[in-house]
Structure 1
Amino acid sequence: MSVVDLSKLPFQGNNLRSFLDEVCETHELDYAAYAGMNPIAGSVHGFVNYPDEWQKVYVDEGFQNRDPALIAASKSIAPVDWQRLRGEDTFQTIFRAAHDFGIADQGLTIPVRGPFGDVGLFSVTRKCSDAEWALLKKQIIGDLQNAAVHLHDTVVKSHALTQKLTHPALSEREVEILQWTAAGKTQQDVADILSISSRTVEVHLRSSRSKLGALTTSQAVGRAIGLGLIYPL
């Protein structure tokens, strides 16, 4: 699953990293992170204020695909306290590695449901005792939930980010084949027009169906038209 760093996308007012820093400073937290999941493109998009070295390790090890905090919160409508995950082997593996970068296993992940079937996950962490964490969490949970909604709304309302979230990354050839298919051409017709084999056309159509979350080629064409990737003829 690919990872898109939203904080590096060029759009007006992109101060996402600064917002996380502000949340941490206001509520005496160590680190914060936002992660969103795009079920169509099969990608994770997000931004964090963790140390750069830990970010690289996290992505290189593919932790975003098996992080129990993200997995549990993506299936929940309520905040997930990391304390309930400490018995899981994957959680221990991730936080043994995180410990080397000064990141504690005391934290919370708040899920937010988006309008495109995506899920936003806002996580915070702080190094402290269980008793201290329980008291702090009680005091700031409302503010954190508001921050989670604000972050997710910022992501989905920005034109540049919405394009990333809602438009699957179809290749030029996949778009071309879907466009000819939308024009009523058969698979063999498309192959003849593009001077490629019928089998190659089918490979591209299969990839397009997967990226668009479609069961049939007709569904893929319909979704591609709806997203503005191709045009009805």
Structure 2
Amino acid sequence: MSVIDLSKLKFPENNFRLFLDTVCETHELDFAAYAGVNPVAQSVHGVVNYPDEWQARYVKKNFQHKDPTLLVASRSIAPVDWQRLRDETSFKTVFHAAHDFGIAEQGVTIPVRGPYGEVGLFSVTRNCSDREWNLLKPKIIGGLQNAAVHLHDTIMQSNAMSRELMRPSLSAREIEILQWIAAGKSQQDVADILSISSRTVEVHLRSSRSKLCALTTPQAVGRAVGLGLIYPN
């Protein structure tokens, strides 16, 4: 599953990291993060104000697949306080590594569910005692929930994310076959080039037509070109 850093995308609405910084300053928090799953492309898109070194470590270690602050919250409709996760091995693994970058294990993740079937996860953290956190959280949770909904809606309504949601998730093999078809090769030619059977080529073409909502292979090729999935020859 790929990870898309929204702060690196160039589009007018991109002030997401500034928004996170403002939330932290307003509520006296250390860090904030947003992560969402694109239900079409099955990619994780997100923006954080964590140190760049921790972001790189997090992705390199594939923590997005095991981080319980995301996995548990993605199945919840209510905010998930990280205190309840501390006994989980995966939590200890992630936050033992995070500690080296000044990131504490005190925090909360707020899930937001949207109209496309997507789930956005807004997390904040603060380095403080349990007592201090338990006093602070009730005072700020309402504001954090409003911030979570605002950020999620803004991201999902952005032109960049709308394009991603409308982009069919073709496999690498499906794209490869469509590219050869676009180059004028026959189904048997493609089978010979890729050392697979003609029947396998047809299976991939059928799947491509379905994903692209195309009735014919030429129509599928045209739509794939229009979406930038393959290139015209």
TM-score bracket, normalised by the shorter chain, equals 0.7 to 0.9
Give the residue type in structure 2 aligned to 1:191: Q
Q: Which residue of 1 aligns with 2:135?
A: 135
Change (3 A) 1:193 1:64: closer
Q: Distance in 1 between matches of 2:137 and 2:221?
A: 48
CA contact (8 A) 2:109 2:124 kept: yes
Moved over 4 A (4+): 175-181, 192-198, 203-206, 228-232
**Matched residue of 1:117: which SS?**
coil
**Matched residue of 1:122: which SS?**
strand
Q: Which residue of 1 aligns with 2:23?
A: 23
Within the candidate set 163, 184, 190, 2:187 is matched to 190
Q: CA deviation at 1:195?
A: 6.4
Q: Distance in 1 between matches of 2:73 and 2:87?
A: 16
Q: Which residue of 2 aligns with 1:39?
A: 39
Q: Which residue of 2 aligns with 1:55?
A: 55
Change (3 A) 1:229 1:153: farther
Q: Distance in 2 between matches of 1:92 and 1:9?
A: 32
**RMSD over aligned Cα, in angstroms?**
3.0
**Matched residue of 2:212: which SS?**
helix
Q: CA deviation at 1:192?
A: 4.5
**Matched residue of 1:64: which SS?**
helix
* Structure 1, 33-42 or 147-156: larger mean CA deviation: 33-42
Q: CA deviation at 1:64?
A: 0.6
Change (3 A) 1:103 1:156: same
Please list every run of 5 or more consecutive structure 1 residues that lacks an aligned counterpart in the other structure.
Answer: 182-188, 209-216
Q: CA deviation at 1:151?
A: 1.0
Q: Which residue of 2 aligns with 1:103?
A: 103
Q: CA deviation at 1:205?
A: 4.9
CA contact (8 A) 1:83 1:106 kept: yes
Q: TM-score, normalised by structure 1?
A: 0.80
Q: Distance in 2 between matches of 1:114 and 1:25?
A: 27
Change (3 A) 1:117 1:229: farther
Q: Distance in 1 between matches of 2:18 and 2:49?
A: 9
Q: TM-score, normalised by structure 2?
A: 0.80
Q: Which residue of 1 aligns with 2:212?
A: 224
Q: Distance in 1 between matches of 2:166 and 2:13?
A: 20
Q: Distance in 2 between matches of 1:201 and 1:135?
A: 64
Identity among equivalent pairs (%): 62
CA contact (8 A) 1:95 1:105 kept: yes
Q: CA deviation at 1:13?
A: 2.6
